[in-house]
Amino acid sequence: MSIELNNESENTAQFLISVFKALETLVRLHLQDHRSQPPLHDLLNKVTLAIQSKVELVHVYQICTVYPESFIVSQTGDRDLVLELGAEKTGVTQRIATFERKVREYMASNPGQDIQLKKRVVKKEASPKKIAASKVLKGSSDKNSFKEKRATSGKSLLERIRAKEESSKKQGLDPASLKIQHRKLYISGKLEAVYGILYDLSPKRISDTELAVTSHSLGSLITTVQNSFASPMAAVDIEASIHELAKVLNDPSKVKVVKSGDVSIVRLGALERTKDLELLTSN
């Protein structure tokens, strides 16, 4: 039986359900390719992008308060907070259904009240080797210091398409050729956005001699990109964008699409955001 809530409580419940679903997907996606738990600050940024609404640490604590068995916020030594799957490790569908029921029950029992937070961070001790390694990795990342660069041409995608149309008309191109050129321009205009998603999923460089690599099925990667965009993008266009990124970056150690039987696999290495975006904008 559905639990009826007032408008304010319903909005809060729906927001937290959206956050929970995104966290559930992202944590499990991370654990497919990493032994370490996902950094909480990275998850918050990705969930904010996925649901197009600002998500903060307080919302994670609200979820953990309502459903304590869902996630655990933990910290090893002085490293960043991470998010782990909690004691209830049932399937995704069941966990989502459980949270939906629990958050509605909580909101119905506490109408008009904020969720009383139970902030609990599980502290873990780090070995000396792990502490040393974490300092090296933390100092090597330039992600937070990077500032996005805009395309040097200064023209919007629509302006570029129109300019290309005029050029094509002068060259006497037929409609089919024009359609092909329009799609190429569309894909070109999406490369930076798709690259941003791949960058978030890519592993970080371990050392100058040891490179980390993660593998994703093309289908799951396409779904992740689609879920990260506010406006829809066709799967075939996302696939074309990934192939074009591999071509433009021209470095198999960064992005490589390979066939494994009937399945296409995308291998991601350590990406260099500043250098890579310069290549994309100058292409």
Average pLDDT over residues 81-108: 88
pLDDT at 265: 92
Average pLDDT over residues 138-152: 39
pLDDT at 121: 77
Number of domains within the chain = 2
Final residue in a domain of this structure, among 105, 140, 175? 140
Verify that 115 and 214 share a domain, yes or no: no
Verify that 11 and 95 share a domain, yes or no: yes
Average pLDDT score, the chain: 78
- Between 255 and 143, name the one with better pLDDT: 255
Residue range 177-228, pLDDT digits in tens: 667 777 887 888 888 889 988 888 888 766 655 667 888 889 888 888 887 7
* Residue 152 in domain: no
Nearest-10 Cα torsion for 18, 98, 66, 107: 80
pLDDT class for 252, splitting at 50, 70, 90?
very high
Instruction: Give the domain CATH number at 69.
Output: 1.10.10
Asked if 46 and 28 touch (Cβ cutoff 8 Å), the reply is no
* Residue 12 in domain: yes
* Residue 153 in domain: no
pLDDT class for 278, splitting at 50, 70, 90?
confident
Asked if 20 and 64 touch (Cβ cutoff 8 Å), the reply is no
Final residue in a domain of this structure, among 140, 165, 180? 140
Verify that 117 and 17 share a domain, yes or no: yes
Asked if 268 and 213 touch (Cβ cutoff 8 Å), the reply is yes
Q: What range defines the domain where residue 247 resides?
A: 192-282
Within a 10 A sphere around the Cβ of 32, how many other Cβ atoms?
Answer: 11
